[in-house]
Chain A
Amino acid sequence: MDIPSNLGSLGVYLCLFVALYFEVFLLMSYLEKKPATKTADLPKRYPSVAMLVPCFNEAATLAQTVESLLLLQYPKEKMRVLIIDDGSTDTTRQIGEKLAMQNPSQVQFYHKENGGKYTALNFGISHSTAEVLGCLDADSFVASDALIEAVKQFEGDTSIMAITPAMKVYRPRKVLELIQAVEYTFGIFYKKMFDNLSAINVLPGPFSLYKREVFERIGMFKHAHNTEDMEIAFRMHANGLKIANAHNAFVYTTVPSTFKTLIKQRTRWSQGFLQNARDYKYMVGNPRFGNFGTLVLPFSLLSFAAGLYMAGYALYHLGYTLWSKVADISVTHVPLYLSPQQLSWFYINTSMMLFVILAVLMGTALAIILGKRIADTEVTVKALVFYFALFGFVAPVWLARAAWGAALARESKWR
Chain B
Amino acid sequence: MITAAIFGTAFYIASRIDNQRIAEIRATEDTISIDILSSETQFELLGNVDCQTLAQNPVLSDELNTLASQLSVAEQNLGDTNPEVIQLKQQYSLLEIKDYVLLQNITNKCGGKPVYILYFYSNSGDCPDCNQMGDVLTYLRNQYPGLRVYAFDYHLDLSALSTLKTLNKVNGTLPAMIINNRPPVYGFKNLDQMMALIPELKTLASTTSATSTSNSSSTKAK
Contact = CB atoms under 8 A, between A and B. Distances in A.
Interface on chain A toward B: helix, strand, loop, or mixed SS? helix
A359 B73 contact: no
A414 interface: no
Contact of B10 (A333, A347, A359): A359
Contacts of A28: 2
B21 A346 contact: yes
Contact of A24 (B2, B21, B139): B2
A337 B138 CA distance: 11
B73 A332 contact: no
A24 B4 CA distance: 11
A333 B195 CA distance: 11
A4 interface: no
A331 B132 contact: yes
A341 B66 contact: yes
Interface in B192-213: 192, 213
B191 A341 contact: no
Interface on chain B toward A: helix, strand, loop, or mixed SS? helix
A347 B73 contact: yes
B190 A17 contact: no
Interface string A287-299: 0000000000000
A356 B7 CA distance: 6
Given A340-B213, A351-B14, A355-B13, A328 B2 contact: no
B60 interface: no
Interface string B7-49: 1011101100110010010000000000000000000000000
B125 to A, nearest CB: 10
Contacts of A350: 13-14, 17-18, 77
A64 B201 CA distance: 76
Contacts of B167: none
A339 B140 CA distance: 12
Given A334-B191, A350-B17, A328 B66 contact: no
Interface string A335-360: 10101111000110011101110110
B6 A339 contact: no
B139 A337 contact: yes
A354 B10 CA distance: 8
A333 B14 contact: no
B14 A24 contact: no
A352 B11 contact: yes
Contacts of A316: none
B3 A21 contact: yes
Nearest to A18: B3
Nearest to B143: A337
B93 interface: no
A359 B69 CA distance: 29
B219 interface: no
A20 interface: yes
Contacts of B13: 350, 352, 355
B6 A20 contact: yes
A351 B192 CA distance: 36
A341 B77 contact: no
A24 B9 CA distance: 15
B70 A24 contact: no
A23 to B, nearest CB: 9
Interface in B134-168: 135-136, 138-139, 142
B10 A332 contact: no
Contact of A332 (B3, B11, B136): B136
Contacts of B14: 350-352, 354-355
B122 interface: no
A334 B6 contact: no
Contacts of B136: 332-334
A339 B142 contact: yes
Contact of B142 (A328, A337, A347, A352): A337
Interface in A354-376: 354-356, 358-359
A355 B10 CA distance: 5
- 6 tightest A-B contacts by CB? A339-B216, A355-B10, A333-B191, A352-B14, A341-B216, A334-B139
Interface of A: 1, 17, 20-21, 24, 28, 328, 331-335, 337, 339-342, 346-347, 350-352, 354-356, 358-359
6 contacts: A331-B188, A333-B136, A337-B142, A350-B18, A351-B77, A352-B10
Given A328-B132, A334-B190, 11 more contacts: A20-B6, A328-B135, A332-B139, A332-B191, A334-B135, A339-B142, A340-B216, A342-B216, A354-B14, A355-B9, A359-B9
